[in-house]
Structure 1
Amino acid sequence: MTTLTLPSRREESWRWADPEAIAAAAQLPWSDAEADADDHWLDLPGARLVFVDGVFDAERSTLGRVTVEALDGGAHALGQHATGPGWALRMAADGVEDPVQVVHLASGGANHVPAAIELAAGAAATVIETFVGSGWSNRATRIALGDGARLMRSVRMLQAGGFVSLREEAEVGAGASLVATFLGAGAAGTRVDGAVTVSGQGGFAEFGGALLTRDDQRQECAVTVRHDSVGGSSKQVWRAVAADRSTASLAARVEVARDAQQTDGEQSLRGLLLQRTATINLKPELEIFADDVKCAHGATVGELDARALFYMQSRGISRVRAQALLTRAFVADSLDRIGDETVREAFVADADAWLDVALAAPAVWGTSS
């Protein structure tokens, strides 16, 4: 049996990581319960893929243009384990694909799946992934967007237990657009680990989402966007809501190479504490070697505004309802960027279901920030 080697928190990029949770998730016992993907499909046309404990289920899948093949997970500390059978979406120039949905069902133990998304010049695609069940679900996804290509990628991490780790590597060509949104609204630990390179002139990359934590749960993101060409732009919009004794950590970095003049990079990291026992860590970073750029970052951690709560209560809205409305508006800020209405509504519904549980606790508090 191969020994599982995990990163150490002594490394700066893993300082808030939870390797113990990954090791524990990999040892979770297997469940005999029949996994069902039907409850997780969105009402959209296109390919539907089901993976059960990392194994492709052909009987419950419709491939469309997607292929299942052996792929390399790369050299990343976690992604390297995801080498072997996976799925790939490759599109020729100017092709447009119906949405591709992938549902990952985990019943215990560890499972690893690589993926590749390659869009030639002018092609467009939408990919939605959903993670449910329990165990260590480890993924490595490589994305290559040709000039003018467009990809909208949305990922729901809804596992009830264990850990979900995502390694995302993307290269964005000239005039191409990548919009990736992640939602952690389950009870599992998560890590979104991204490395995005805007290599073509005028390329655009948006990477963000919401991490919602409660109980003793820990979730984190660690994303770097690098600009290597003139006139590129990027956004990293992340929101975190933490309740009970949980921890949410957001680390976002923008690198601008010497020749990447006229780069426009924006970071927005915001955290909302529902109880004082919870923790939110934020770490925005800028490393700029060009002199003609427009880059900005903001990072704030706070609580529900007591003045807003008082105002809403004075208008006849109950305190619990006021708390729910303010928290939902805070989270929605990171999900509104999903362009497809059906996908966006599904993500909002997942966040609402999480908030209904978290806000039911009597200890939710708020003071003016």
Structure 2
Amino acid sequence: MTTLELPSPRLEEWRWADMQALRAAADAEPRETGIDPADLFLDIEGPRLLFVDGVFEPAHSRPGRVQVTRLVAQTDHPLGQLAEGEGWSLTLGAQEAVTNIQIVHLGSGGESHVPARILLQEDAVASVVETYAGAGWANRLTQIVLGRGARLMRSVRLLQAGGFVSLRDEAEIGEAASLASIFLGAGNMGSRIDGALTLTGKGAFAEMGGALLTSGTQKQEAAVAVRHENVEGTSRQLWRAVAADRSVASLAARVEVARGAQQTDGEQSLRGLLLQRSATVNLKPELEIFADDVKCAHGATVGELDKRALFYLQSRGVTEARAKALLTRAFVADAMARIGEEAVRAAFEADADQWLEGAL
């Protein structure tokens, strides 16, 4: 059996990563999930693909323009380079559009690796919804190339009841192109969301953010780097973390502005909410700027629920549990509001509400 080589927590960029949980998930024996795959798809029209333990399942799929094919991982990322073999790809020509593509990943235990590749040519439009459920270690690599004026919306929800999900996103965003990726970690698994976005064209836009919700002894993490290489680029990193019990949520966001990338507009907003003082939220915003005509801002705060707001709601007849749920939902709402499709956004909000019912 090949020994699984994992990044060391002694490396700064992996200091918060829970490699022990990843290894335990990879070694777990498969077992029946009791989940009907049909229940994991949202009730929206569009292509559907199901992967069970990393293997494409045609019986519950209708790929449409999405191709199931073998892909070779072309990356130096230590986890991303493991994701090669059968995966999925989407290639759209100029001004073509395919929306509401659903990719569902269901795991029963052990490790699975699925690569994905998205190539949108000039002014092409696509939207993708990904769902992770079940158990085991789900390791994924998504590589994205957006041509001039192309637009891609990705919405990813992590709902596994256990195990670990590791996601590596690598994107090149061309002139006037737009990429928005929103993540919700509302399951009981460990996770690492890892992004490297490069704005190569003039006026490109990139957004990567979302909400991590943790409880028990769970650990979730997001580590994203956005690099501006051309003028008039805009990036947004808006992340929210809610931690209960003895859990840990960690957010690291980095913006790099290269020489010559003038008139860059970069924003980072990292906020953490502790439901109990035994929980931990780690925040690490970073800016590295080599241009002089830029507008970059970052903010990082960790706190507890506002006691005055709780008192106000209770004085109006709202129970303590309901008041906490309302304030916590409002805390993560701005991250979910970035999702473009109303039906998808409503599903993500329902997932967050279900987590809150169990945590509060």
C-alpha RMSD over aligned residues: 0.8
The total of aligned residue pairs comes to 359
Which one is further off, 285-294 or 312-321? 312-321
Residue 28 of structure 1 is matched in structure 2 by 28
Structure 2: how far apart are the matches of 1:39 and 1:163?
21
Q: Distance in 1 between matches of 2:61 and 2:345?
A: 23
2:99–2:125 CA contact under 8 A, matched in 1: no
- SS state at 2:156 partner: strand
Q: Which residue of 1 aligns with 2:308?
A: 307
Q: Secondary structure at the match of 1:276?
A: coil
Q: Which residue of 2 aligns with 1:87?
A: 88
- Identity of counterpart residues, as a percentage? 65
Distance 2:5 2:91 in 1: 32
Aligned 1:1-369 pairs, distance under 5 A = 1-33=1-33, 35-73=35-73, 74-359=75-360
CA–CA distance in 2 between the matches of 1:347 and 1:98? 17
**1:276 Cα deviation after fit:** 0.6
Note if contact 1:173-1:200 (Cα within 8 Å) is conserved in structure 2: yes
Contact 1:35 1:52 in 2 (8 A): no
* Contact 2:127 2:153 survives alignment (8 Å): yes
Q: Which amino acid aligns with 1:25?
A: A
- Note the C-alpha offset of 1:314: 1.5
**Deviation digits for residues 177-232 of structure 1, max 9, x if unmatched?**
00100000000000000000011000000100000000000000000000000000
Q: Distance in 2 between matches of 1:328 and 1:35?
A: 27
State the distance in 1 between where 2:33 and 2:154 align: 30
Distance 2:328 2:193 in 1: 23
In structure 1, list runs of 5 or more residues that go unmatched.
360-369
Aligned counterpart, 1:362: none
- The offset of 1:40, in angstroms, is 1.3
Q: Cα distance, 1:45 vs. partner?
A: 1.2
CA distance in 1, matches of 2:30, 2:164: 14
Q: Distance in 1 between matches of 2:307 and 2:39?
A: 38
The 3-state SS of whatever aligns with 1:125 is: strand
- TM (normalized to structure 2)? 0.99
**What is the SS of the residue equivalent to 1:80?**
helix
- Report SS of the residue matched to 1:114: strand
3-state SS, counterpart of residue 356 of structure 1: helix
Cα distance in 2 between the residues matched to 1:151 and 1:354: 28
Between the aligned partners of 2:99 and 2:209, the Cα distance in structure 1 is 23
Local SS of the residue matching 1:99: strand
Contact 2:48 2:62 in 1 (8 A): yes
